[in-house]
Copies of this chain bind each other. A is one copy, B any other.
Amino acid sequence: MMKQYAFGIDLGGTTAKVGLFTTSGALLEKWEVPTDTSNSGENILRNLANSIKKKAEEKDVPFDEIAGVGIGVPGPVREDRYVPTCANLGGWGDLDGSANLAALLDGLPVKTGNDANVAALGEIWMGTAKGCRSMVMVTLGTGVGGGVIVNGNVLCGARGAGGEIGHITVNPHEKAACGCGKHGCLEQYSSATGIVRCMKLLLEANSEPCVLRGREFAAKDVLDAARDGDKLALREVNNMADTLGFALAGISSTVDPEMFLLGGGVSRAGDILVDAVTAAFKKYAFSACVDTPIKIASLGNDAGIYGAVRLVVGSGD
């Protein structure tokens, strides 16, 4: 008999999102636990374990009806083991986090994954890509994250770098450095930060009128201005989409996923982004792949807790 419940955790630098789910994927309740990054994060796992125990008691969920706890962490993960350390968690790392959290939870099964990979797993389980066997998700936020799903499972990679799509070099001639130390990473053009950076360069290099000139702006403002017909903003959105479409085309000639999903804050731009990225993708993609759909992810900030549960509930087929 399959157990009835599972917990999913999306561990972030400020808070952890936690969800109580049925094992068939219904989200019953979600809440947040502050992430205590003091003393290299020594309290992180204990706080999470206590919160889960308290919620189980409150909801009359018996421990022997809990299939397990999945957790997505903001760092590279090989198979079920952490690779230390998570830069955003006060340097916290854990070479065997699954076992340590399991010990705090009376031996419940625990599985760990990289947060971007786990979000992709959530989307293929219960989001836009539901029913697909393979999918590549690109999360366009402050940085650019990614998750590659093959045969229903996360492709972690030999060094935990599977799906590190933001650090594909797309421009070998770039002079500015990426946060990773390289030059010309996708993230430098397609993240929210990258869009603002490139828009500023466009404004400097051109004297054309633009509603963004002379004021502070965010990535959303660039996308909104482009949608409202601002020519220079539209040029930046097309440049950004061209770079992203170029990278996705290369990925399609390597793993050939059923579909691509765009997630993260920048993806809220919707059609204007999808249409521009799709047009660029078709230009650069191998003939067999030109019609691969590119869609917006649907689970938003909950993708991580869905995917974390999927880690422990398994492929179910």
Interface on A for B, CB 8 Å cutoff?
A: 76, 133-134, 136, 146, 148, 150, 155-165, 167-169, 172, 180-182, 242, 246-247, 249-258, 284-289, 292
Contact = CB atoms under 8 A, between A and B. Distances in A.
B180 A286 contact: yes
Main secondary structure of the interface of A (DSSP, over half): loop
From A150, A249, A257, name the one whose CB has the most chain B CB atoms within 10 angstroms. Answer: A150
A6 B265 CA distance: 53
A258 B158 contact: yes
Contacts of A254: 136, 146, 148, 162-165, 168, 250-251, 254-255
A246 B169 contact: yes
Nearest to A247: B250
A159 B256 contact: yes
A159 B134 CA distance: 11
A37 B80 CA distance: 50
A255 B148 contact: yes
A167 B290 CA distance: 12
Nearest to A146: B254
Given A157-B256, A169-B285, 7 more contacts: A159-B256, A160-B256, A161-B288, A161-B289, A168-B249, A181-B287, A255-B255
A83 to B, nearest CB: 8
Nearest to A164: B253
